Chains A and B, each alone.
Chain A
Amino acid sequence: MVNINIMSPVDIRELQSTIRKAITNKQKILLKENLELQSLPIDAKTVILDLSSFDKIIELDKENFTVTVEGGINFLEFQIMLAQKGFFFPLDTYASAKTSLSYNVLHGLPSYTLGEYGNYREYVLGLEAVLFNGDHIKIGGKNIKNVSGLDIIGLLIGSKETLGIITKLTLRLLPFPEEKRVLLFNFKELKTALHVTNQLINKGINPAKLHILNASGNSIIKNINLSKSPVVIAEIDGFKASLPRQLDVFKEIISGHISNFSLEITDNNEITNFWNNFREAQYQALINVQNTVSFSCIISEIPEMVAEIEKELVKFEQEFIIQVNGIVGTGMVIPLKKVDNEWISQVAKLIEKYDGKVLGKKSFVNQGLNTIHKKLIDAFDPARISFLGGEEF
């Protein structure tokens, strides 16, 4: 284990000076959260940035339904605080409990609610960031609509620490849904589970969450007795008046296909506990191997694609979790034990065969876009201090 060089700036000025120093000393810079989630070749010179001092809630604006908050705050704690005050911030990722809000936004980690509740860009109304060129910038505010010049907010979201560090965010909040339910169903076959989700959407049912796990994926559902077959987890929320009918339609569609197990969680605390456990288990599975494939794919191709992955990977004699967001077609393939590159590239190949895309690529396929990408990096990070940005293109 190398000595790690952790810096914990307490304000913008310190952060700026950390970044400027890194520029002069040709050091690379990286958010602390990465250490656990990825295996990275860091050295003693690498600046590991700990944003935990940036953890204040600046303003909860009840009239405008916005919150202004520093980016270093723990994502889950932030959500709990909002919930206590009666506000709802619908995005939630496998890493919420362990990572900062900024980390999630900068990496654009796919939210469990991706789909019905949209993505980060719909919620980030304004932000402050310190760029890797040392500049501190402020853009946007509390305005729901803003097209004043180019969308730098959109560019920073999901930029994976290649442009700068977000230090403060103004987020749009929502009123809490009146009611919610979590439903779990065991399916005999993964393929049927996926077909069922297609039907749901066709019927106009828009679950807040809809996750499909293969049989091995069951292992991340703790404290619930499931048989070892694929599972669909759905969370449906909405108004008291219309929820019963949504549930009826849901159950009707699903009834013909389930094998034997189904469970409905109605108590809000139990729902929270369920997701806490789920999140924790998924996070543990991830950091256990630090080597997974995240993908995005065409929803209608998921059944075939997933079936083929299941079939083809048998030869590796390696158990793995497939988790798919059935509404938007994002997902992950997580091996239960460390795997080699051949495994990873085999998974990637199968995903691409079905027009899916492996997430987390560092450069564009196209040369013209790479030139532009490079020039953009020149503007944001001229000294190439971003660790995750890599050396060159």
Chain B
Amino acid sequence: MKETQISFLRNIVGNKNICTNKEELLVYEYDATLLKGAPEVIVFPENTEQVSNILAFAYQEGIPVNTRGAGTNLSGGSIPDQGGIALVMTKMNKVLETDFKNGVVVVEPGVINQELQDYLIPHGYYYPPDPASMKACTIGGNIGECSGGPRCLKYGVTRDYVLGMEMVLGTGEVVVIGSKQQMNPDPLDLVKLMVGSEGTLGVFTKLFLKIKKIPEAKKTMLCTFNSVKDASKTVANIISRGIVPTTLEMMDNLLINCAEDFTGLGLDRNADALLLIEVDGFKEELDGQVQVIKEVCEKNYVKEFKIAQSAQEVDQLWTARRTVIGAVARKRPSYSLQDVTVPRNKLPDIVEAIVNISQKYNLPIGVLAHAGDGNLHPLVLFDERNKEEVKKVHEAEFNICKIALSLGGTLSGEHGIGLLKKPYLKQEFSPEVLKLKKQIMLAFDPKNILNPDKILEVGK
């Protein structure tokens, strides 16, 4: 980028909101993957008008714009691999409006998910999407990726909670789509399209979110099994018994041990699989559900079935679950995480396939799953500095993706495609669909400057 371009941007956001220091460029070159690519300038807009001016200028000059929240994403989606502007939304971090009567909050994209929850909980409300990184990630990022989380088995994903938004189009024009109302009155539901668009269609500046009343009661269960197969069968059986738990999370032996290393909760290090199950609702109806779940577990040879006794115990279990991915990294310096999803009843098959792949490539692979919705996070452990190993990791992951697709699955359940899974996309979609996706992207972003060539190659 030219000096004049940078000083134009400087005029828009002011001196304190723009950086070109080498040091700062270095810390905006990464996300939570191993990929890298440095921006040429970092801009922190403080309001919609600034975002609009930045985009209008970038459009005019053809400069790439990579919108970024907290950079906790797992797909390479926020990496400015083509240089240009890193548009960092962290300073637009206010909760603008809460309207409990209508069950709506209006927030800026830089609000941290957990902070929104902390804000709502005292009023008896919450925002259901709860990605594991909720303490660190922004709402804008959640919407860009259509984040899921353990609770979405019962309550749905981010998409189901975004009613509308104010956003800035690639040209700099500010528009509102959807509304604060529960039904989108627009001629086409562009809100749904924006959720999960990974920064390729526009930049959100205000989000209208649906919130829910906190259910009056919940019960959390911890069940261990002697085999992953038993655990995955349990998962399928629970649902076919007519119970939709809030969450149904699974960890394999490797992950149980890592979680235990970090939290020291006394998890059974010898168990081959663990299920963390939660049901919520009215207090009278929970005991019955717990009873059914217990029966199903017993039928599937549960090793131990335990109900958490205190709120503190529940919190600890959830901390163990939310942090387990990082905790795994204690074993080896690097890890890579996939996000394949398969129909629930194919869970045992894919787990078995992953075990085989792990043996074939001689790589430790841990399996963490939002088992209730068939969404798996196989964690491949390696050392990023060992090039041989890195090559093997890529092959192993490609195989996992292929198998997931052959089981009727999809490449991504909640992390998005970004850069990481871009090469696999043509395995999942026909040329007609890919063409359509490209046309959609060009309709919003004719110059291909908004997070250019993420999800798929658009080209000039």
| A contacts, CB < 8 Å to B | 61-66, 108, 110, 114-115, 118-119, 121-122, 131, 135-155, 157-160, 162, 174-176, 198, 201, 204, 238-242, 245-246, 296-300, 327-330, 356-359, 361-364, 366-369, 372-373, 375-376, 378-380
> Are B284 and A239 interface neighbours, CB within 8 A?
yes
Number of CB contacts from chain A to chain B under 8 A: 257
Q: Is the interface of A mostly helix, strand, loop or mixed?
A: loop
**Partner pick for B244 among A149, A159, A174, CB 8 A cutoff:** A174
How many angstroms from the CA of A300 to the CA of B103 in the assembled complex?
10
The smallest C-beta distance from B159 to any residue of chain A, in angstroms, reads 7
Chain A: which residue is nearest B186 at the CB level?
Answer: A364
> Are A198 and B185 interface neighbours, CB within 8 A?
no
The 9 closest A-B pairs by CB, nearest first: A154-B192, A175-B242, A357-B185, A375-B443, A242-B282, A239-B285, A379-B439, A328-B182, A145-B413
> Are B455 and A149 interface neighbours, CB within 8 A?
yes
**Partner pick for A145 among B180, B373, B443, CB 8 A cutoff:** B373
The answer, yes or no, to whether B141 is at the interface (CB within 8 Å) is no
Could you say which of B145, B185, B428 has the most chain A C-beta atoms within 10 Å of its C-beta?
A: B185
- Chain B residues near A242 (CB-CB < 8 A): 281-285
> Are A118 and B175 interface neighbours, CB within 8 A?
no
How many angstroms from the CA of A245 to the CA of B284 in the assembled complex?
9
- Chain A residues near B101 (CB-CB < 8 A): 198, 299-300
- Chain B residues near A66 (CB-CB < 8 A): 343
Given known contacts A122-B160, A372-B169, A150 and B440 CB-to-CB distance under 8 angstroms:
yes
- Chain A residues near B173 (CB-CB < 8 A): 366-368
The smallest C-beta distance from A156 to any residue of chain B, in angstroms, reads 9
**Partner pick for B175 among A153, A328, A362, A368, CB 8 A cutoff:** A368
Given known contacts A121-B160, A151-B192, A373-B187, A204 and B175 CB-to-CB distance under 8 angstroms:
no
Given known contacts A61-B343, A139-B433, A151-B195, A159 and B417 CB-to-CB distance under 8 angstroms:
no
- Chain A residues near B197 (CB-CB < 8 A): 150-151
**Partner pick for B343 among A108, A110, A141, A238, CB 8 A cutoff:** A141
- Chain A residues near B425 (CB-CB < 8 A): 148-149
How many angstroms from the CA of A119 to the CA of B102 in the assembled complex?
17
How many angstroms from the CA of A140 to the CA of B408 in the assembled complex?
9
> Are B412 and A63 interface neighbours, CB within 8 A?
no
- Chain A residues near B412 (CB-CB < 8 A): 146-148
The smallest C-beta distance from B193 to any residue of chain A, in angstroms, reads 5
The answer, yes or no, to whether B415 is at the interface (CB within 8 Å) is yes
> Are B175 and A150 interface neighbours, CB within 8 A?
no
> Are B187 and A372 interface neighbours, CB within 8 A?
no
> Are A65 and B240 interface neighbours, CB within 8 A?
yes
> Are B145 and A147 interface neighbours, CB within 8 A?
yes
The smallest C-beta distance from B223 to any residue of chain A, in angstroms, reads 20
Pick 13 A–B contacts, CB within 8 A, sort by A.
A61-B343, A115-B182, A137-B432, A137-B433, A144-B375, A145-B152, A145-B373, A148-B421, A150-B440, A201-B213, A329-B181, A366-B173, A369-B175
- Chain B residues near A241 (CB-CB < 8 A): 282, 284-285, 287-288
**Partner pick for A152 among B180, B288, B433, CB 8 A cutoff:** B433
Given known contacts A149-B455, A299-B102, A155 and B182 CB-to-CB distance under 8 angstroms:
no
Given known contacts A122-B160, A155-B193, A361-B186, A142 and B411 CB-to-CB distance under 8 angstroms:
no
Extra inter-chain contacts (8) besides given A149-B417, A296-B179, CB under 8 Å: A110-B183, A118-B160, A143-B409, A145-B148, A153-B192, A175-B243, A238-B282, A358-B185
How many angstroms from the CA of A131 to the CA of B444 in the assembled complex?
20
The smallest C-beta distance from B211 to any residue of chain A, in angstroms, reads 12
> Are A114 and B182 interface neighbours, CB within 8 A?
yes
B217-263 with Cβ < 8 A to chain A: 236, 239-244
The answer, yes or no, to whether B70 is at the interface (CB within 8 Å) is no
How many angstroms from the CA of A256 to the CA of B190 in the assembled complex?
43
> Are A151 and B146 interface neighbours, CB within 8 A?
yes
Chain B: which residue is nearest A379 at the CB level?
Answer: B439
The answer, yes or no, to whether B157 is at the interface (CB within 8 Å) is yes
The smallest C-beta distance from A64 to any residue of chain B, in angstroms, reads 5
How many angstroms from the CA of A131 to the CA of B440 in the assembled complex?
14
How many angstroms from the CA of A1 to the CA of B437 in the assembled complex?
42
Given known contacts A176-B242, A379-B443, A148 and B284 CB-to-CB distance under 8 angstroms:
no
> Are B436 and A135 interface neighbours, CB within 8 A?
yes
B412-460 with Cβ < 8 A to chain A: 412-417, 421, 425, 428-430, 432-433, 436-437, 439-444, 455-456
Given known contacts A143-B343, A364-B186, A148 and B428 CB-to-CB distance under 8 angstroms:
yes
How many angstroms from the CA of A108 to the CA of B191 in the assembled complex?
14
- Chain B residues near A300 (CB-CB < 8 A): 99, 101-102
- Chain A residues near B432 (CB-CB < 8 A): 135-137
How many angstroms from the CA of A65 to the CA of B241 in the assembled complex?
11
The smallest C-beta distance from A26 to any residue of chain B, in angstroms, reads 22
The answer, yes or no, to whether B27 is at the interface (CB within 8 Å) is no
> Are A151 and B193 interface neighbours, CB within 8 A?
yes
How many angstroms from the CA of A114 to the CA of B181 in the assembled complex?
12
The smallest C-beta distance from A14 to any residue of chain B, in angstroms, reads 18
- Chain A residues near B282 (CB-CB < 8 A): 238-239, 241-242, 245-246
> Are A141 and B410 interface neighbours, CB within 8 A?
yes
> Are B182 and A368 interface neighbours, CB within 8 A?
no
- Chain A residues near B343 (CB-CB < 8 A): 61, 64, 66, 141-143
